[in-house]
Amino acid sequence: MTHSSPGDQVDQALSESGRPTPDVVVQPDADHLARAVASALVARLAAAQAVHGTASVVLTGGGIGTAVLERVAALAAEPEHAVVDWGAVDVWWGDERFVPVDHPDRNELGARESLLSKVALDPERVHPIPSSDAGFDEPEEAAAWYAEQLATAAGEGRTMPRIDVLLLGMGPEGHVASIFPDSPAATDDRPVVAVRDCPKPPPTRVSLGFPAITAAEEVWLLVSGEGKAEAVARALGGAEPVDLPAAGAQGKQATRWLLDAAAASRLPRA
């Protein structure tokens, strides 16, 4: 692994898998982590827009993921940090709970409250995963529809559009998005999967699968707290993705583990 600061240009060595070696950034606490990730995300989206004219991000729920979005909204309100054209950002989600659209468990709701309602997005570029009251009776239908949306955005017969940054939280047992250890989603080769009997409520969800996650340019894992420290160490120590899904969350250009000191406390010292 390599260590750097959140705003650093990413230039990672290749690991044996042919993927870049994960980059690890440690902040003192969750608040510093959220602020640092927000600054880095704004810079990354602006850089993508400078190259492509547009930027794309996959959002995560969870405490740190939501805190990051709140900090991004605060930055967007400061003229000197307003470097992103929010009307040219595509927003996708890594997973969603298959519950009604206004249910407090929806990741979409948290994202809308913390950031999406506060910046001038193009509604056509905001792509929530369908809720259970959006016209799909089963999560499998919602998953297939979301895969179609991604493929349509990608064009040219491809499955996934360019995703500049894919954000993921991680559970204490190493789940990412709604891919849980030893679950069918961990070995599913579809880009979007329905998740049933999820060990963490609510039980029915829709999630990106590994083929979609690993198609992103950069994957950023946002992790805070001592309760995640062992899973962080195992993931970076070479665990199998089926045992510890976070280990399989790798970007094409970069994989960044953005940690607070507690989450990093079981890593070997650099």
Ligand X SMILES: O=C(O)[C@H](O)[C@@H](O)[C@H](O)[C@H](O)COP(=O)(O)O
Half-sphere exposure of 174 (CA within 13 A, CB side): 24
> Binding of ligand X at residue 99 (CB under 6 A)?
no
Rounded Cα distance, 33 and 51, in Å:
27
Size of the site for ligand X (CB under 6 A): 11
Rounded Cα distance, 185 and 179, in Å:
5
Residue closer to ligand X by CB (options 63, 211) is 63
Residue closer to ligand X by CB (options 139, 171) is 171
> Binding of ligand X at residue 183 (CB under 6 A)?
no
Residue closer to ligand X by CB (options 62, 241) is 62
Minimum Å gap between C-beta 26 and ligand X is: 16
Interaction pattern, residues 185-224, with ligand X; x per rule: CB under 6 A: ---------------x------------------------
Q: Which amino acid is at 195?
A: V
Span interacting with ligand X, options 13-21, 126-134, 169-177, 208-216, rule CB under 6 A: 169-177
> Binding of ligand X at residue 64 (CB under 6 A)?
yes
Residue closer to ligand X by CB (options 45, 64) is 64
> Binding of ligand X at residue 20 (CB under 6 A)?
no
Residue closer to ligand X by CB (options 128, 171) is 171
Residues of span 44-63 touching ligand X by CB under 6 A: 60-63
Token couple for 183: 């679950």
With contact defined as beta carbons under 8 Å apart, do 226 and 232 qualify? no
Per DSSP, the chain holds a count of helices (H) and strands (E) of 6, 10
Residue whose structure tokens are 């994989």: 255
Residue closer to ligand X by CB (options 48, 262) is 262
Rounded Cα distance, 202 and 199, in Å:
8
> Binding of ligand X at residue 169 (CB under 6 A)?
yes
Residues of span 112-131 touching ligand X by CB under 6 A: none
Q: Cβ contacts of residue 164 below 8 Å, gap of 6+?
A: 44, 45, 48, 55, 56, 57, 216, 217, 218
With contact defined as beta carbons under 8 Å apart, do 2 and 24 qualify? yes
Half-sphere exposure of 259 (CA within 13 A, CB side): 27
Minimum Å gap between C-beta 225 and ligand X is: 7
> Binding of ligand X at residue 171 (CB under 6 A)?
yes
**Site residues (vs ligand X, CB under 6 A):** 60-65, 169-171, 178, 200
